[in-house]
Chains A and B, each alone.
Chain A
Amino acid sequence: MKLYYKLTLINAISRVTIVAAFLIFVPDLIYKAAIQHTDDLLAKRKVEFIHIMDKMGVNQFVQEESDSTYADYTIFKEKYVSIEPAKKIINDTIVTGRRDIEGDTVEARILKHSFKYNNTNYLLEIGESLQYVDDLKAVLSKVALYILLGVIFLTVFVDLSVMQYLLRPLQKIEAKLKGIRTPEKFDYTLVKTNTTDFRYLDRTIRNMMRKIRNTFYIEKEFIANVSHELLTPVSILQTRLENMLEAGNLDEETETKIIESQKTLGRLKQIVRSLLLISQIENNQSSKEDRVDIAELLKEVKSEIEVRLIEKSITLDLELHDDFIFTPSNRSLLYTLFFNLINNAIKYNKQNGWIIVTTEKTKNEYLVHIRDTGKGIAPENLKSIFQRFKKLNNSESESYGLGLAMVKTIADFHDVEITVESKQNEGSTFTVAFKL
């Protein structure tokens, strides 16, 4: 989940919690406050009522009623006063209770006060209906719910826009990192922001990218320089050996040794040239201006490589279905790519083995599959086969460990993807995928 959504979600949740707490606790608090207020009101009214009774006498209230009971209500049955004879004197109490008032049962707060008048004990009850408190509670709950919903919508909306604004530098940094394959392609300009965290992040990433780029550069330059430096001594050796053979006054053994040395030197030459070519491609010193018909190219590789099939009686089949012109590309590099892949398929194949090259056009890609009946690649080696100087099968055939590294370099240069599937002792399939 993106930080932006996470933050918004967390904020929304915290607000919902606060409003929910408000919704749960506030009506109770209000209820308590209302009770307190009612109680104060009742106490005041008691004092007033006693004052009136003192002036007018209790009988005024008692005699009027048949059962020696007096009761008085306001129209809305909110206020209530009753006096009735009582058995004994009790202390003033306030209770919440139900009273039947003219047929309705009403919940009320009731102050009970007993007093003695003319040797009779009376109980005075002064009540105040609690109906309004319940109403208040209901209204408050409703209002709180609306507020809750409103607050959530509003804050989520505000949060989204504020967060988006605040997190924009982070998104920019993210965008810079997306889809970068080499540090050369990184955008080294800093993102504009006054958030120190983002500044720190941006600067750190930039500095690390620079370090990686420099390391890459140093490595590339080293390889280019080393291979270049090696070319001159190798040239001298090659010409010297040739001159020695030309002299023609050698015994057979020496001659054989010189020829063997030429072969060894040839291998050295090949390694040096391969390294040079790889570093040239990596340093973008190769052109990419050709239009290459891949099927034609595969046919050419086949005719060129056919002589190598004889030794192990290998059959090489091309099953080319769709046409594809790859442009812009570098023909000779692509040739090397397919040559190396098919050459490997020959090298690691078994006697009377097969190599089948098929092409296939899917919705977005043009695929070339090179399938062989060779030894296959151990799963633990699959990841490292494109690394320089990795030998596939250490024991038998010689490999300079650069063939597949070269393939990978050429593929990367053309933005072409290479994948391998392999089963040991059954064979491997290399797939080259060109984007359409």
Chain B
Amino acid sequence: MNVLIIEDEKSLSKEVQDFLKKEGYTCEIAFNGKEASEKLFVNPYDFILLDLGLPDYDGLQLLKECKEAGQEAAVIILTARGSTDDKVKGLDLGADDYLAKPFSLLELSSRMQAITRRKHGLKRNIVELGGFQVDLTNRSVHFNTNLINLTKKEFDILQYLLINKNRVITRMQLTEHIWDNALEVDYDSNYVDVHIKNLRKKLTQFAPVDWIETVRGIGYRLNLS
């Protein structure tokens, strides 16, 4: 899939590019609005990562041009402005998602995956996990016919581990993901562990959950072949 990264900060765009390349995306970078505008009218993209704070261009204007150019790409706005106004305006102009800087690369890739799933119109998005059926659309978990009652946070954790399966997720990445409001994150505590413990407890009533692995000192990994 083709990604256009529109970001004037060279180091940041390079880190994003490095990460996405490993994830299997093809990336192009535009360092300013003019460059981006030219690229938009030439190449088709699947994803556009748009920094709103460009030196030469109003990011929201670029978003408009994007739609005018007939791009079918999903647009994720990256911004340091963080004001809700920008968010609303961006989403109104047809952006698909919004990430406030500083963002986690894993969070970015999860959002991109979520958009892809949505775009491909998967009505029922059920993943089989060691006997459990995880419904990502309805946000529910079943074991055969039994509905397992998970809290919002527990489901968020399970889903995040699932989306990033076979990869170690640090406690911090999980923490930042499940607490929408960054201000409430307590970086020195391991409240995530409590949620994982509860999640495991609820699931093991039905079947062993050895596929959730604790990676000592780092975090967790969901092993799925």
- A residues lining the B interface (CB < 8 Å): 228, 231-232, 234-240, 242-243, 245-246, 252, 255-256, 259, 262-263, 266-267, 269-270, 273-274, 276-277, 280, 285-287, 304, 307-308, 310-311, 332, 335-336, 339-340, 343, 398, 406
Question: Could you tell me the distance between the alpha carbons of A239 and B7 in the complex, rounded to whole angstroms?
Answer: 14
1/0 contact trace for B1-21 toward A, CB 8 Å? 000000001011001101100
Question: Could you tell me the distance between the alpha carbons of A311 and B192 in the complex, rounded to whole angstroms?
Answer: 12
**A398: contacting residue among B82, B173, B188, B217, CB under 8 A:** B188
Q: B12–A307 contact, CB under 8 A? A: no
Q: B84–A236 contact, CB under 8 A? A: no
Q: A259–B217 contact, CB under 8 A? A: yes
Q: B184–A242 contact, CB under 8 A? A: no
B194: chain A residues at CB < 8 Å are 307, 310
Q: CB within 8 Å of A: which of B80-108?
A: 80-85, 101-106
1/0 contact trace for B203-225 toward A, CB 8 Å? 00000000000000110000000
A340: chain B residues at CB < 8 Å are 183
Question: Could you tell me the distance between the alpha carbons of A127 and B75 in the complex, rounded to whole angstroms?
Answer: 125
Q: How large is the interface on B (under 10, 10 to 19, 20 to 34, 35 or more residues)?
A: 35 or more
A311: chain B residues at CB < 8 Å are 189
Q: CB within 8 Å of A: which of B89-143?
A: 101-106
A256: chain B residues at CB < 8 Å are 217-218
Q: B101–A235 contact, CB under 8 A? A: yes
Query: Given A308-B189, A336-B181, are A231 and B101 neighbors across the interface (CB < 8 Å)?
Result: yes
* B80 smallest CB distance to A (angstroms): 4
Question: Could you tell me the distance between the alpha carbons of A121 and B50 in the complex, rounded to whole angstroms?
Answer: 138
* A109 smallest CB distance to B (angstroms): 101
**B182: contacting residue among A245, A269, A339, CB under 8 A:** A269
Q: B182–A262 contact, CB under 8 A? A: no
* B215 smallest CB distance to A (angstroms): 10
Q: Which residue of B lies closest to A311 (CB)?
A: B189
B172: chain A residues at CB < 8 Å are 259, 262-263, 266
Q: A255–B83 contact, CB under 8 A? A: no
Dominant SS among interface residues on chain A: helix
Q: A267–B187 contact, CB under 8 A? A: yes
**A270: contacting residue among B22, B182, B218, CB under 8 A:** B182
Query: Given A234-B102, A307-B191, A339-B184, are A246 and B19 neighbors across the interface (CB < 8 Å)?
Result: yes
Query: Given A239-B15, A243-B18, A269-B182, are A232 and B101 neighbors across the interface (CB < 8 Å)?
Result: yes
Q: A236–B187 contact, CB under 8 A? A: no
B188: chain A residues at CB < 8 Å are 263, 398
Question: Could you tell me the distance between the alpha carbons of A361 and B104 in the complex, rounded to whole angstroms?
Answer: 44
**A255: contacting residue among B9, B84, B218, CB under 8 A:** B218
Q: A238–B185 contact, CB under 8 A? A: no
> Is B186 in the interface zone, CB < 8 Å from A?
yes
A398: chain B residues at CB < 8 Å are 188
Of A242, A255, A269, A287, most B-chain CB atoms within 10 Å = A242
Q: Which residue of A lies closest to B100 (CB)?
A: A273
A231: chain B residues at CB < 8 Å are 80, 101-102
* B119 smallest CB distance to A (angstroms): 25
For the complex of A and B, the 10 pairs showing the least CB-CB separation, nearest first, are A239-B15, A235-B102, A266-B187, A231-B80, A235-B101, A236-B11, A242-B105, A234-B102, A238-B102, A307-B191
Of A245, A311, A339, most B-chain CB atoms within 10 Å = A245
Question: Could you tell me the distance between the alpha carbons of A285 and B82 in the complex, rounded to whole angstroms?
Answer: 11
B15: chain A residues at CB < 8 Å are 236, 239-240, 242-243
Query: Given A269-B102, A270-B187, A339-B184, are A285 and B85 neighbors across the interface (CB < 8 Å)?
Result: yes
Q: B185–A228 contact, CB under 8 A? A: no
Question: Could you tell me the distance between the alpha carbons of A415 and B173 in the complex, rounded to whole angstroms?
Answer: 36
B12: chain A residues at CB < 8 Å are 232, 235-236, 239
Question: Could you tell me the distance between the alpha carbons of A86 and B172 in the complex, rounded to whole angstroms?
Answer: 134
* B179 smallest CB distance to A (angstroms): 8
Q: A270–B183 contact, CB under 8 A? A: yes
Of A228, A252, A287, A307, most B-chain CB atoms within 10 Å = A307
Question: Could you tell me the distance between the alpha carbons of A235 and B13 in the complex, rounded to whole angstroms?
Answer: 10
**A232: contacting residue among B9, B173, B182, B187, CB under 8 A:** B9
Question: Could you tell me the distance between the alpha carbons of A260 and B46 in the complex, rounded to whole angstroms?
Answer: 35
17 A-B pairs, CB-CB below 8 angstroms? A232-B9, A232-B80, A234-B101, A236-B12, A239-B15, A243-B18, A245-B168, A255-B218, A266-B172, A266-B187, A269-B182, A270-B182, A274-B183, A287-B84, A308-B189, A310-B194, A339-B184
Question: Could you tell me the distance between the alpha carbons of A287 and B9 in the complex, rounded to whole angstroms?
Answer: 30
Q: A285–B217 contact, CB under 8 A? A: no
Given contacts A235-B12, A304-B184, 6 further A-B contacts (CB under 8 A): A235-B102, A240-B11, A243-B15, A263-B187, A266-B172, A339-B181
> Is B170 in the interface zone, CB < 8 Å from A?
yes
**B183: contacting residue among A245, A255, A406, CB under 8 A:** A406
* A336 smallest CB distance to B (angstroms): 6
> Is B195 in the interface zone, CB < 8 Å from A?
yes
Q: A243–B105 contact, CB under 8 A? A: yes
Q: B186–A308 contact, CB under 8 A? A: yes
Question: Could you tell me the distance between the alpha carbons of A304 and B103 in the complex, rounded to whole angstroms?
Answer: 22
* A406 smallest CB distance to B (angstroms): 7
B11: chain A residues at CB < 8 Å are 236, 240
Question: Could you tell me the distance between the alpha carbons of A236 and B13 in the complex, rounded to whole angstroms?
Answer: 9
B173: chain A residues at CB < 8 Å are 242
Q: B105–A259 contact, CB under 8 A? A: no
B16: chain A residues at CB < 8 Å are 239
A237: chain B residues at CB < 8 Å are 102
Question: Could you tell me the distance between the alpha carbons of A21 and B183 in the complex, rounded to whole angstroms?
Answer: 77
Of B12, B105, B183, most A-chain CB atoms within 10 Å = B183
Question: Could you tell me the distance between the alpha carbons of A237 and B9 in the complex, rounded to whole angstroms?
Answer: 12
B217: chain A residues at CB < 8 Å are 252, 256, 259
